Structure 1
Amino acid sequence: MEARVKHIIWDWNGTLLDDNHAVIQAVNAVCAHFKRGTITHAEWQEIYTRPVSVSYSTLLGTELTVADWANVDRLYHQAYRALLHTCGLQRGADSALQGWRNAGGSQSLLSMFFHTELLPLVTQLGIADLFARIDGLREQTGGDTKVEYLRRHLADLGKQPDEVVLIGDITDDAEAAAQLGVDCVLVSVGAMTRRRLQTTGAPVVDSVPEALDLLRAA
C-alpha cells in the first residue's frame, strides 16, 4: 500500500453499511418465492459473486434469463427496502470517516445500490458531507461488475488510479481495482468470507478502522 494515497473510494453495502441481516432476509424472500429452502448468511457468503445473477443461478439451481433476473432483483430489493430502516453503519465507520477527513484526506462513495435511494440514506445517517462525491447505480436493474462504474467514478473525481485506494468487501472490488491500477483493501465484514477475499491477493482486514490503520501505516 502506497503512502501517496490521499483519497479513499468507499464501497457502501457490507463495507460502510452493516446490512448483513437485511441482505440474508431479502435473499430468503427470493428463496421463498421460488419454493427453495432458506439459507444462512454464512452460506450466502460462499455463493455470492458478481454478476449477482450468477449467484442466484447457483442458489436456485437454474440458469436465469434476463427477465428472470429482473424479477429476482425486484423481489430482493422489495424485501431489502423494507428492512433498510434497521441498518446502520459498521462498527467504527463513523469515527473512521471523520478521522480520515480531519487528517486532511479526501474520500468518495461508489455504491452499486440505486443512486436515488442511496443519497437520502447517506444523508439520514449523517455522513453525506464527508464525501467529495457520491455515486450509486443509475440503471433500473443492478448486479453487474464494478469496473466500468469505478472507471467513470475516477474520471468524474479527476483522480489518477495511483492516487486512490478502494475499500470494499467482495472480490469484485479487488478485481475492478486491479484492472484499473487502483490499490484495494478488503474488509471481511460483509458479503464474502475472509478466505474468499484472500484469494484476490489484496490486503484483508476485519473492520473499517483496521483498513484505515493499514493506510496510515503505509
Structure 2
Amino acid sequence: MIKHIIWDWNGTLLDDLDVSMEALNYVLEKENLPLVLDKEEYRKYFQFPVIEYYKKVGFDFNKTPFSVLAKQYMDYYQPNSLSCSLHKNVEETLQKVKSKDVSQYLLSASNLDFLHEQLAEYDIKKYFLNIKGLDNIHAHSKAELAKCFVEESGFNPDEVLFVGDSVHDSEVAKYANCHCVLIANGHEHKSKLLNTDSYVVDNMKQFYDFIVENIK
C-alpha cells in the first residue's frame, strides 16, 4: 500500500502542453525549421533527455548549440507558462491524498527556481512536504535526484509511488525501485507509455479512482 507519492509537475499536474508547443515552434521558426502543429505529433516527438527530443524535430547543434536553443525555449516558455491551468481534478486529488495521511512531494526535471515561480500561481504548495528540481534548464534527467531523495528520506521504496506523464517518469521510478503510474494527457503519447512497465491511466479522474483503492 502506498504511503508516499512523488509527483511530476509539467504535464502531470500543470497543463502546459499548449505553451510548450508554442515555445518549441517559436524556436523552430527562429531556426527556419518546419513547425510542429499537431499535439499527437508533438507527443510522439517528446522524450527525455530533452536534447534527444530537440534532435528529433530537426535542430542542428552545429549551427546553434543546444544550450542556446534551450535558453530561447525557456525565454518564451517560462513567462507564458505562468498563465497555464492545472489539469482538471488536480486539487481534489491532492486534497484526497492528504486526507488519507499520505505524504506528497514534487520532483521535477525543471529548474528549481522556475518551478517555484510557477507554483506561486496556484494554491497547492501546501500539499507538498518537499519540492525538488534541477539547477539548470537542460532537463537531462531526474533519476539520480529521485533515487537520492527516496534513500535520504528513509522511505521503503515499495511504499512509494511516482506519478508522471512520460516514459522517463517510469524510468525514474524503476531506478529508485518504486512504483509508477503514468497519466496519458500530458507531454508523451499514450502508445509510448503503454510500452513501459507502469500502470497507465487517461486522466487525473482515473488516477483519483485508482489511488483511492491503493493508498494505506
TM-score, length of structure 2 as denominator length:
0.92
Query: What is aligned with 2:103?
Result: 106
Deviation of the 1:52 alpha carbon: 0.7
**Equivalent position amino acid for 2:138 in 1:** G
Q: How many residues align?
A: 212
- Name the structure 2 match of 1:202: 198
Deviation at 1:35, TM superposition (A): 0.4
Contact 1:133 1:157 in 2 (8 A): no
Does 2:85 align with 1:88? Answer: yes
> d(CA) in 1 for partners of 2:213 and 2:99?
17
Structure 2 SS opposite 1:109: strand
- The alignment status of 1:27 with 2:21, answered yes or no, reads no
Are the aligned partners of 1:15 and 1:167 in contact in 2 as well (CA < 8 Å)? yes
Matching residue's letter, 1:209: K
Write the letter of the residue equivalent to 2:58: L
Q: Please give the alpha-carbon distance, in whole angstroms, between the structure 2 residues aligned to 1:15 and 1:144.
A: 18
Given candidates 195, 211, 217, the residue that maps to 2:213 is: 217
2:132, 2:82 → 1: CA distance?
A: 21
Cα pair 1:31 1:38 within 8 Å, conserved: yes
Tell me, yes or no, if structure 1 residue 36 matches structure 2 residue 51: no
| CA deviation after TM superposition for structure 1 residue 156, in Å | 4.1
1:154 aligns with 2:150: yes
1:18 aligned residue (15, 19, 29)? 15
Distance of 1:149 and 1:211 partners within structure 2: 24
CA distance in 2 between counterparts of 1:175 and 1:55 reads: 16
Cα separation, 2, equivalents of 1:191 and 1:162: 27
The gaps in structure 1 that reach 5 residues or longer are: none
Counterpart amino acid of residue 59 in structure 1: V
CA contact (8 A) 1:30 1:75 kept: yes
Q: Which residue of 2 aligns with 1:9?
A: 6
Normalised to the residue count of structure 1, the TM-score between the two structures is: 0.91
SS of the residue aligned with 1:83? helix
**Paired amino acid for 2:75:** Q
Where in structure 2 are there 5+ consecutive unaligned residues? none
Counterpart CA distance in 2 for 1:61 and 1:27 is 11
Over the matched positions of the two proteins, sequence identity in percent amounts to: 28
1:120 positional shift = 3.3
How far apart in 2 are the matches of 1:24 and 1:167?
A: 22
Residue type of the partner of 2:195?
Answer: T
Residues 141 and 84 of structure 1, relative CA distance in 2, 3 Å threshold? closer
> Considering only aligned residues, what root-mean-square deviation do their CA atoms show, in Å?
1.6
Cα separation, 1, equivalents of 2:58 and 2:175: 30
